[in-house]
């Protein structure tokens, strides 16, 4: 279990280096980068050219790259606009897109292939802004600020929301349910999302300062 104070400090530091504090004229360059804050253990990244490297604290990742955490690893990804993702042990995420769109909109898309992640999303500015997490069975589109995604070995996905709302659909986008605060849904392989139901009491909480 990670201490709340420690995680809060890490996330706060991530916000200080985000694109929100950078002049608009410089945001395009930052739009392709994501900063790593390593909490514990070791992680690896598959770079754009296919090379696999160990991820040090403070490393910069880019769209198209994949980060994997070890069995005792926890780390935080801070996107250019301030949103953060904590990766739990044995998790894998590919950063599909991270950039500014037209009119100052922010576009963030990632694919989670395994493991457990915690997301704290900044306010989405502009109608074109998107924050999506895809898994083998679902797509979670943020309409709120704090949620979790858990992908089991078989690919089944659980999405739970602690603040705001997250629209969750099956892999084909045919059926969508809206998961509001305090609820969760499960999307099994080849099935539609289950109706949102109350989530169990959390064992840990994310605190942002």
DSSP conformational letter for 180: E
pTM of the model: 0.76
Those residues whose C-beta lies under 8 Å from the C-beta of residue 81, and which sit 6 or more positions away, are: 18, 19, 20, 106, 108, 122
User: pLDDT (tens digit, 0 to 9) for every residue of the chain, 209 residues total?
Assistant: 444 333 343 333 333 333 334 444 344 444 458 999 999 999 999 998 899 999 999 999 999 999 999 999 999 999 988 899 999 999 999 999 998 887 778 899 999 999 999 999 987 766 788 899 999 999 999 866 789 999 999 999 999 999 999 999 999 999 999 999 999 999 999 999 999 999 887 555 555 44
Q: How many whole angstroms separate alpha carbon 107 and alpha carbon 87?
A: 20
Cα 15 to chain centroid, rounded: 15
Three-state SS at 68:
strand
């Amino acid at each position: 279990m990670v201490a709340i104070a420690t995680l809060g400090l890490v996330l706060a530091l991530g916000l200080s280096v985000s694109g929100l504090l950078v002049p608009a004229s410089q945001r395009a360059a930052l739009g392709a980068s994501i900063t790593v804050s390593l909490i514990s253990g070791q992680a690896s990244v598959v770079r754009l050219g296919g090379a696999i490297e160990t991820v040090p604290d403070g490393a910069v990742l880019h769209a198209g790259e994949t980060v994997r955490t070890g069995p005792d690893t926890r780390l935080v990804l801070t996107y250019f606009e301030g949103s953060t993702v904590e990766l739990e042990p044995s998790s894998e995420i590919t950063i599909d897109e991270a950039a500014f769109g037209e009119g100052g909109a922010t576009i963030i898309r990632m694919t989670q292939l395994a493991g457990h992640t915690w997301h704290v999303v900044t306010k989405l500015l502009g109608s074109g802004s998107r924050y999506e997490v895809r898994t083998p069975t679902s797509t979670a589109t943020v309409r709120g600020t704090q949620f979790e995604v858990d992908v089991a070995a078989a690919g089944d996905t659980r999405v739970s929301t602690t603040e705001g709302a997250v629209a969750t659909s099956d892999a084909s986008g045919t059926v969508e349910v809206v998961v509001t605060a305090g609820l969760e849904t499960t999307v099994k392989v080849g099935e539609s999302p289950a109706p949102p139901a109350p989530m169990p009491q959390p064992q840990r909480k994310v605190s942002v300062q």
